[in-house]
Amino acid sequence: MKGKALRIFTAFAAGVALLAVISAVAVCIIFPNKYASEVNAAADEFGLDRTLVRSVVWAESKFDPNATSKKGAKGLMQLMPETYMACAVALYIENPESKMCDPAVSLRCGCYYLSLLIDKFDGNERAALMAYNAGEQNAKRFLAGEKMFAETARYLDSIAFAKKVYGLFA
């Protein structure tokens, strides 16, 4: 009986271990950590939490450097062309027109812009994320009590969830 119990326990333990591995692989597929050195460098350059930056990239582009939104936002951090160009000029990026989808450049510009928004909203990360998604004026209206856009509410939820997941690996 002892031998049979040991075999059952061993099979059960192996099954649990297999499920853990499958779960870990699934999390890594759904929440990739591509461009880790570029994310870390850009986040650190602008004093941003690395987990926040990964979460924004995940929510914006799912780590696809060539992602383009219906509204025309591009790159890993999905900046609108005007915003991207303003950031690129402020950061002295040479030939920025050809680098909008370059991961390192997109991350630097996106992190710079996000850091500006966090400063504008006195360190209020949630307000800065509202502005990143819906624009500064809309974020101010949301903070004043106007109903938030459903898309912006989903965006904030998505960032919060991704931060929890990416926080597990920090």
Report the C-alpha gap between 83 and 109 in whole angstroms. Answer: 9
Q: Nearest-CA neighbor of 112 among 56, 168, 153?
A: 56
H helix intervals, 2-149: 2-30, 36-45, 50-61, 81-90, 103-120, 125-134, 136-143
Report the C-alpha gap between 110 and 134 in whole angstroms. Answer: 15
Active site residue 146: no
Q: Which residues contact 144 (CB under 8 A, 6 or more apart)?
A: none
Write down the catalytic residue from 38, 45, 60, 151: 60
Report the C-alpha gap between 48 and 58 in whole angstroms. Answer: 16
Which residues are part of the catalytic machinery? 60
